[in-house]
């Protein structure tokens, strides 16, 4: 069958089971848009290509499937960059398809020409420029396989306009098979070594990261923790991998982690890391972090072993299998003395959020209690609100906590929430942003309104860039520069898109506004005004030991 | 410490940029790099000399292994491989100095590839130490210009890079 390159792209998307793409048209990608016209694939037009990339990312995070975004050459492609980098840093499977100027014009600085494969080389798992139409189908299939397999990540396929219009022979292939991950004998031997080390440990802790979510290894992690009677802490990316309500779960670890969780890491004699790459925001001082401890590092990517923290024992491969093998080989743990110590920390650091005024910790506790038992997905932006949300929301299931962890991209929240809401129409997506990040991509409310997506946007409004203010407070002698933002009427902004909004200045007003939003079927914006002076605590300064809390 | 790595890559546009980009992006230091075709037109082979301790070497190998176009990586240790580079050195060698320089070149088995009234250009093949020594000795005569290739190397005996080619599951699972 001879069809156009553009039709081949559509056919390949269908083969991969893609039903939704996020994009923005332009000159060099128009042949593909023409082919989409006749297809059943749903195209979500965003306001900006960055929104399309974040939405594809949010779609992937919420569903576990590959998210797809489309942009034209030049500015369309460059606008994807932040979104692809966010997906890359958090190992999220995304395929980006970009138009390119015709092959005859490449290298001639043609209108809307950029070398997008060159630009995105360091922020994609791999990328392709397809110059031969005959290789378009195999390239797209390969792109999806690269994006989803092993350690997932974004892949960009750049398709010149003439490749989209060329008529070429197309041979359909079925849906791709899932390939089981092979286990090498060397890993099995190291699993035994790990089991022995675990058996000797008196104060073990499991740190769970985003890799456990990607590997869908939640039940295996919980089973191992239960067998060892071992505390579990989570990185920002790992939230939801183990339910917040699990009795062994101590909460968030890292720069703004819960004190019992960080103390536990510091005092542990053995750390079992499951899908965590020991980011600097997790470890603080990398040397002090692992000093005197045995580190068992389980990851799909061999390059993560010994990259940031020297692992005594590195186990790479399929996480579910490794965890199951490890569980079979370890005796049930005796950690009573360890838990006495932990219980003392928990008692010392227990605090109820201030309910006398509207604060972020209080409102996230309130959101958690109002949404308990409901199917909700939380998508955050980046900054203080993100840390407060990570500390105080109770994330019970994987793929319901979507946050830009590695890149820390402000503006991620709203488009990611859109993508998640489209991936999971049966769930309610709650988007949480600060006023700064909301301004970056808030125009995507247009897309939310156009699609009637029932996203609830909670804007934690402290009239400023709170995390910047906090860093200037702590490290720049309270000299506040470029962090105080003049007031904006976000309710009027929402109204411009036809979205109802409420403002809350007190806990009572917030509770009522949030309950009303949950009860209403459509999109909703809630502006929660909090004090600009509020700081995220605890806080460990970057590069310090993970229990060296800053008194701010 | 210097390590010599041999990398078998798919012969595709941009592959050298990907490999070199990984080194610069992650702050690994390349001492030299040489690239060329192989007996199989599908592949090129890169020999790279990287500076760093064993921890860095371990990361370099693992990060290279993640590149989609990298097919095999082999470490070439000094005692189990042959490594050669080429240098061309042009010196001012007019008048009475000429005989002396020619003698020196003979000791190093360097060839004269160009000669004029005022200059002589030598070509020398060898490992880095040999080339360094030759260049040092030529220094006093006045080096006008010089050029050096990166090292190229092969393992001794039956050991070869194809033993390190990716196992079948890599075809399906891409890390």
pLDDT digits 0-9 by tens, A345-393 = 999 998 888 889 999 999 999 999 999 999 999 999 999 999 999 999 9
Sorting pLDDT into bands at 50, 70 and 90, what band is A243? Answer: very high
Q: Count the residues in chain B.
A: 175
A421 and A521 co-located in one domain: yes
Range of the domain at A449: 360-529
Per the CB < 8 A criterion, the answer to whether A160 and A102 are in contact is: yes
Alpha-carbon distance of A269 to A271, in angstroms, equals 7
pLDDT score of B91: 95
- Pick B2-80+154-172's CATH classification: 3.30.70.260, 3.10.50.40, 3.90.76.10, 3.40.190.10: 3.30.70.260
Q: What are phi and psi of A188, to 5 degrees?
A: -60, -40
pLDDT score of A333: 80
β-sheet with A294-299: strand ranges across: A249-252, A232-234, A204-208, A270-274, A294-299, A313-316
Search chain A and give the residue with CA nearest B65.
A303
Kind of pairing between the strands at A94-100 and A154-160:
parallel
Cβ of B18 within 8 Å of Cβ of A182? The answer is no
A385 and A421 co-located in one domain: yes
Size of interface A-B (CB pairs under 8 A): 51
A335 and A371 co-located in one domain: no
Alpha-carbon distance of A89 to A84, in angstroms, equals 9
A457 and A498 co-located in one domain: yes
A142 and A209 co-located in one domain: no
Sorting pLDDT into bands at 50, 70 and 90, what band is A326? Answer: very high
A366 and A503 co-located in one domain: yes
Per the CB < 8 A criterion, the answer to whether A459 and A400 are in contact is: no
Q: How far is CA A473 from the centre of its chain?
A: 28
Alpha-carbon distance of A201 to A195, in angstroms, equals 10
Q: What kind of architecture, by CATH, is found in domain B82-152? A: 2-Layer Sandwich (3.30)
Interface check for B26 against chain A (CB to CB < 8 A): the answer is no
Tell me the residues of chain A between 146 and 175 that have a Cβ less than 8 Å away from chain B: 146, 149-151
DSSP bridge partners of A399: none
Residues 6+ apart with CB under 8 A from B12: B69
A377 and A229 co-located in one domain: no
Tell me the residues of chain A between 267 and 306 that have a Cβ less than 8 Å away from chain B: 300-303, 305-306
pLDDT tens-digit series, residues A435-449: 999 999 999 999 999
pLDDT score of A249: 98
Tokens 């402290």: give the residue.
A462
Nearest chain A Cα distance for residue B73, angstroms: 14
Alpha-carbon distance of A452 to A446, in angstroms, equals 10
Residues in chain B with CB shorter than 8 Å from the CB of A118 are: 14, 17
Extents of the domains making up chain B: 2-80+154-172, 82-152
Please, what sign has the CA dihedral across residues A79, A83, A86, A92? negative
Q: Is the pLDDT of residue A546 over 60?
A: yes
pLDDT score of A1: 85
Q: Determine the 3-state secondary structure of A361 from DSSP.
A: helix
Tokens 């008196």: give the residue.
A202
pLDDT score of B169: 46
Interface check for A121 against chain B (CB to CB < 8 A): the answer is yes
Alpha-carbon distance of B144 to B121, in angstroms, equals 10
Cβ of A122 within 8 Å of Cβ of B21? The answer is yes
Q: Is the pLDDT of residue A536 over 50?
A: yes
| Global pTM value | 0.96
Buried b (16+ CB within 10 A) or exposed e, A84-107: bbbbbbbbbbbbbbbbbbbbebbe
- Please check whether residue A96 lies inside any domain of the structure: yes
DSSP bridge partners of B10: B43
Nearest chain A Cα distance for residue B118, angstroms: 44
- Please check whether residue A175 lies inside any domain of the structure: no
pLDDT score of A26: 98
DSSP assignment of B17-74, as one string?
Answer: HHHHHHHHHTTPEEEEEEEEE-SSTTEEEEEEEEES-HHHHHHHHHHHHHSTTEEEEE
Q: Is the pLDDT of residue A151 over 50?
A: yes
Tell me the residues of chain B between 58 and 77 that have a Cβ less than 8 Å away from chain A: 58-59, 62-63, 65-66, 68
DSSP assignment of A75-140, as one string?
Answer: HHHHHTHHHHHHHHHTT--EEEEEEE--GGGTTS--TT---HHHHHGGGSSEEEE---GGGHHHHH
Relative orientation angle of helices A218-228 and A319-329, to the nearest 10 degrees: 20
Cβ of A303 within 8 Å of Cβ of B174? The answer is no
Residues 6+ apart with CB under 8 A from B171: none
Look at A16-20, A121-125, A178-182, A427-431 and tell me which has the smallest mean pLDDT: A178-182
Per the CB < 8 A criterion, the answer to whether A489 and A465 are in contact is: no
Residues (pLDDT < 70) of chain B are: 167-175
Sorting pLDDT into bands at 50, 70 and 90, what band is A181? Answer: low
Q: Residue A19 carries which DSSP code?
A: -
Cβ of B66 within 8 Å of Cβ of A301? The answer is yes
Relative orientation angle of helices B128-138 and B97-107, to the nearest 10 degrees: 170
Structure-derived torsion over alpha carbons of residues A145, A150, A156, A161, reported in degrees to the nearest 10 = -10
Cβ of A302 within 8 Å of Cβ of B65? The answer is yes
Q: How much of chain A exceeds pLDDT 90, in percent?
A: 94
pLDDT tens-digit series, residues A287-303: 999 999 999 999 999 99
pLDDT score of B170: 47
Cβ of B62 within 8 Å of Cβ of A179? The answer is no
Mean pLDDT confidence for A538-550: 95
pLDDT score of A503: 98
Per the CB < 8 A criterion, the answer to whether A491 and A501 are in contact is: yes
The CATH number of the domain holding residue A384 is: 3.40.50.970
- Give the total number of structural domains in chain A: 3
Tell me the residues of chain A between 306 and 365 that have a Cβ less than 8 Å away from chain B: 306-307
Mean pLDDT confidence for A420-431: 98
Per the CB < 8 A criterion, the answer to whether A225 and A243 are in contact is: no
Q: Residue A236 carries which DSSP code?
A: G
Residues 6+ apart with CB under 8 A from A246: A222, A225, A232
Structure-derived torsion over alpha carbons of residues B64, B65, B71, B76, reported in degrees to the nearest 10 = 70
Mean pLDDT computed over every residue of chain A = 96
Domains B2-80+154-172 and B82-152 share a fold: yes
Tokens 């950029």: give the residue.
A114
Cβ of A306 within 8 Å of Cβ of B172? The answer is no
A282 and A410 co-located in one domain: no
Cβ of A126 within 8 Å of Cβ of B65? The answer is no
A336 and A400 co-located in one domain: no
Please, what sign has the CA dihedral across residues B106, B107, B113, B118? negative
Q: Which two tokens stand for residue A412?
A: 């991620």
- Please check whether residue A198 lies inside any domain of the structure: yes
Q: How far is CA A451 from the centre of its chain?
A: 23
Please, what sign has the CA dihedral across residues A314, A320, A326, A327? positive
Q: Is the pLDDT of residue A147 over 60?
A: yes
pLDDT score of A177: 74
SS (H, E, C) A171-223: CCCCCCCCCCCCCCHHHHHHHHHHHHHHHHCCCEEEEECHHHHHCCCHHHHHH
pLDDT tens-digit series, residues A45-84: 999 999 999 999 999 999 999 999 999 999 999 999 999 9
User: Which of A318, A348, A378 is where one domain is finished?
Assistant: A348
pLDDT score of A182: 64
pLDDT tens-digit series, residues A458-492: 999 999 999 999 999 999 999 999 999 999 999 99
Q: Is A287 left (phi over 0), alpha (psi -120 to 50) or beta?
A: alpha
Alpha-carbon distance of A519 to A393, in angstroms, equals 20
A153 and A206 co-located in one domain: no
Q: What are phi and psi of B6, to 5 degrees?
A: -110, 130
Number of Cβ within 10 Å of residue A375's Cβ equals: 11
The CATH number of the domain holding residue A211 is: 3.40.50.1220
Is the bond preceding residue A150 a cis peptide, omega within 30 degrees? no
Q: Determine the 3-state secondary structure of A426 from DSSP.
A: coil
């Amino acid at each position: 069958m001879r069809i156009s390159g553009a039709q081949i792209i559509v056919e390949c998307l269908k083969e991969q089971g893609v039903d939704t793409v996020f994009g923005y048209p332009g000159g060099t990608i128009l042949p593909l848009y023409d082919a989409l016209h006749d297809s059943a694939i749903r195209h979500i037009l965003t306001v900006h290509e960055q929104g399309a990339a974040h939405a594809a990312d949010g779609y992937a995070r919420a569903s576990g499937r590959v998210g797809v975004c489309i942009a034209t050459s030049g500015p369309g492609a460059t606008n994807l960059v932040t979104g692809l980098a966010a997906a890359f840093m958090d190992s999220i499977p995304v395929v980006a398809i970009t138009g390119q100027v015709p092959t005859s014009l490449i290298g001639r600085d043609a209108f809307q020409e950029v070398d997008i494969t060159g630009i995105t080389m360091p922020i994609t798992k791999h990328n392709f420029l397809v110059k031969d139409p005959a290789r378009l189908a195999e390239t797209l299939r390969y792109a999806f396989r690269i994006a989803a397999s092993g350690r997932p990540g974004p892949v960009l396929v750049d398709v010149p306009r003439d490749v989209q219009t060329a008529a070429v022979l197309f041979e359909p292939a079925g849906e791709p098979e899932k390939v089981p991950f092979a286990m090498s004998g060397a890993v099995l031997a190291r699993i035994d070594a790990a089991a022995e080390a675990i058996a000797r440990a008196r104060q073990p802790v499991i740190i769970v990261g985003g890799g456990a979510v990607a590997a869908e290894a939640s039940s295996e992690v919980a089973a191992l923790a239960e067998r060892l009677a071992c505390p579990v802490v989570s990185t920002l990316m790992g939230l939801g991998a183990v339910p917040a309500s699990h009795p062994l779960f101590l909460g968030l670890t890292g720069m703004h982690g819960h004190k019992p969780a960080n103390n536990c890491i510091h005092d542990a004699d053995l750390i079992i890391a499951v899908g965590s790459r020991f980011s600097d925001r997790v470890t603080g001082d990398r040397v002090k972090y692992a000093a005197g401890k045995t580190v068992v590092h389980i990851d799909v990517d061999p390059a993560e072993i010994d990259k940031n923290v020297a692992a005594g024992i590195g186990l790479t491969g399929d996480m579910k299998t490794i965890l199951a093998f490890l569980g079979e080989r370890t005796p049930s743990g005796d950690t009573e003395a360890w838990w006495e110590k932990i219980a003392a920390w928990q008692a010392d650091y227990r605090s109820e959020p201030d309910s006398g005024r509207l604060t972020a910790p209080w409102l996230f506790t309130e959101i958690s209690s109002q949404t308990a038992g409901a199917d909700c997905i939380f998508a955050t932006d980046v900054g203080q609100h993100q840390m407060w949300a990570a500390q105080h929301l109770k994330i019970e299931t994987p793929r319901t906590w979507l946050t830009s962890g590695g890149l820390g991209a402000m503006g991620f929240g709203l488009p990611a929430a859109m993508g998640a809401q489209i991936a999971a129409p049966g769930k309610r997506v709650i988007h949480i942003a600060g006023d700064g990040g909301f301004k970056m991509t808030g125009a995507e409310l247009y897309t939310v309104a156009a699609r009637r997506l029932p996203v609830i946007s909670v804007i934690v409004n402290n009239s400023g860039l709170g995390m910047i203010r906090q860093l200037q407070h702590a490290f720049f002698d309270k000299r506040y520069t470029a962090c105080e933002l003049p007031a904006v009427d976000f309710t009027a902004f929402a109204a411009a898109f036809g979205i109802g909004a409420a403002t809350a200045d007190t806990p009572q007003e917030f509770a009522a506004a949030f309950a009303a939003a949950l009860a209403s079927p459509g999109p909703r914006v809630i502006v929660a005004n909090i004090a600009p002076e509020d700081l995220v605590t605890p806080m460990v300064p970057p590069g310090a030991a993970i229990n060296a809390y800053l008194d701010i | 410490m210097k390590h010599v790595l041999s990398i078998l890559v798919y012969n595709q546009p941009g592959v050298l940029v990907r490999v070199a980009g990984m080194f610069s992006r992650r702050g690994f230091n390349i001492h030299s790099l040489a690239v060329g075709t192989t007996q199989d037109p599908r592949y090129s082979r890169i020999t790279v000399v990287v500076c760093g301790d064993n921890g860095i070497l371990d990361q370099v190998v693992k990060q290279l292994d993640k590149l989609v176009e990298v097919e095999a990586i082999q470490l070439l240790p000094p005692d189990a491989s042959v490594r050669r580079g080429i240098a061309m050195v042009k010196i001012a060698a007019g008048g009475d100095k000429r005989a002396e320089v020619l003698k020196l070149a003979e000791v190093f088995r360097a060839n004269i590839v160009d000669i004029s009234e005022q200059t002589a250009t030598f070509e020398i093949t060898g490992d880095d130490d040999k080339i360094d020594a030759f260049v040092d000795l030529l220094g006093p005569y006045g080096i006008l210009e010089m050029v050096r290739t990166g090292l190229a190397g092969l393992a001794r005996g039956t050991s070869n890079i194809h033993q390190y080619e990716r196992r079948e599951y890599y075809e399906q699972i891409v890390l």
